[in-house]
Amino acid sequence: MKRGFPFLLVISLLVLGLILPRGARSLMVQMMAFSIFAMAYDISLGFTNQCSLGHSVFFGAGAYGTILPMLHWHFGVLPSVFIGFLLGLVLAFLTGLISVRLSEAYFVIVTAIFSAIFHLLAMDMTWLTGGDDGLSVTLPKIGFGPLKLSLYHPLGTYYFVLAFLLAGYLALRTIVGSPLGMIFVAIRENEKRTAFLGYNVRTYKLIAFLISGTFTALSGGLYAVSLRYATADFFSLYWSIIPIVWCLVGGLGTLIGPCIGVALMSLFQYYVSAWWTYYLVIFGVLILLILRVSRRGILGYFIGRGARGGWRL
């Protein structure tokens, strides 16, 4: 049963693409792109206890890194997504170098400042980003030898993003299950003791931050591809906060948890934002309630049997 579950999930995702109506399918595409973001964010918050508010930088960079090469140099979709991915890596490295060596409170604040400054700059540099209006792009067809995949075909985007989601999940699963992932967890559980064991905590925190930032950029790129559009708004603090909500709703320290969080929150947003403009109030209340119950999120609460100190700080 337990072994068959992931297999079943993949099959149902594959089938869902065929049977879902148009609106639900595009919501699903969005959820799959966000799931990569949520898992990537959890590598930072759930696995190494680095509460970053700067992930909108990578999300926005991934989106523009993907859109701009297609727009200006007529790159293909795949190379463009890869460029967005690399841009995320570079930015995560630069911001990580400055921030991972700081203490917890400084880290939180400095990453929030990064997010705010990048948002200001993106809004200001309209010649590059299109500002608030953003930039639209026409997606070229993807060629696999003689086969041509058009992302304008209703199913094209779905399976395109799904492929990345599965690949992203497998990659992150491998990292989390590897000795490197064990070190991440060790840092989360007790940073000082991990340092005593001889691990260079700063380096491993930077590695986690890099992985997290890079996959966030991938998610931003895919989201931009699915919308065929990128806006400076992708850099706003909202995109740094929403992954925290996903992880808290789903559960910290797992990969599936954040995806469940994405699904729940996207459905919630989809239905509630339609009839209530001020639904962010509910977000706020939800954050406070979940934190009161368990700092590992809902799934983490059930796994840890409600251990209050689960998310050690």
Partner 1 sequence: MPEGVGFILFYLINGLIWGLIIALISLGLSLIFGVMGIVNMAHGDIYMIGAVLSFYFVSLFGNFWISLLIVPLIVALIAAPTERFILRPFEGHPSVTMIATVGISFILQQVALATFGGIPKKISSPWEVSFDFLGVSYPGYRLLVAAISTLIIIGVWLFLYRTSLGILIRASMQDKEMASAMGINVNKVLIGTFVLGSVLAAIGGVLAAPISQVFYLMGNDVILLCFIVVIVGGLGSLEGTLIAALILSSVEGAMAAFLTPTEARAMIFIIMVAVLMLRPQGLFGSKRT
The pair of three-digit structure tokens given for residue 29, joined into one six-digit string: 């595409």
Beta carbon nearer to partner 1, 158 or 233: 233
Nearest to 34 by CA among 239, 305, 205: 239
Q: Which span (29-37, 100-108, 202-210, 213-221) binds partner 1, by CB under 8 A?
A: 100-108
Closest CA to 42 of 198, 226, 257: 257
The DSSP code for 147 is E
Is residue 218 within 8 Å of residue 232, measured between CB atoms? Answer: no
Question: Is residue 270 packed enough to be buried (19+ CB in 10 Å), middle (13-18) or exposed (0-12)?
Answer: middle
As given in the structure block, the two tokens for residue 15 are 């089938």
Size of the site for partner 1 (CB under 8 A): 40
Can you tell me the distance from the alpha carbon of 139 to that of 222, in angstroms, rounded to the nearest whole number? 12
CB of 237 to partner 1, least distance (A): 7
State the sign of the Cα–Cα–Cα–Cα dihedral 250, 210, 6, 15: positive
Residue 249 in contact with partner 1, rule: CB under 8 A: no
Two tokens at 311? 């998310």
Q: Which of residues 252-291 bind partner 1 (CB under 8 A)?
A: 277-278, 280-281, 283-288, 291
- Check binding of 24 to partner 1 (CB under 8 A): no
Nearer to partner 1, 117 or 163 (CB): 117
Least Å from the CB of residue 122 to partner 1: 10
Min. distance of Cβ 309 from partner 1 in angstroms? 10
Minimum Å distance from CB 113 to partner 1? 6
Residues 6+ positions from 86 with CB-CB distance below 8 Å:
65
The answer to whether the beta carbons of residues 232 and 123 sit under 8 Å apart is yes
In the list 49, 80, 194, 266, the residue contacting partner 1 (rule: CB under 8 A) is 49
CB of 70 to partner 1, least distance (A): 27
Rounded to a whole number of angstroms, the minimum distance from the CB of residue 105 to partner 1 is: 4
| 128: contact with partner 1 by CB under 8 A | no
Q: Which residues bind partner 1 (CB under 8 A)?
A: 49, 51, 53, 98, 101-106, 108-110, 112-113, 116-117, 120-121, 123-124, 237, 241, 244, 248, 277-278, 280-281, 283-288, 291-292, 295, 311, 313
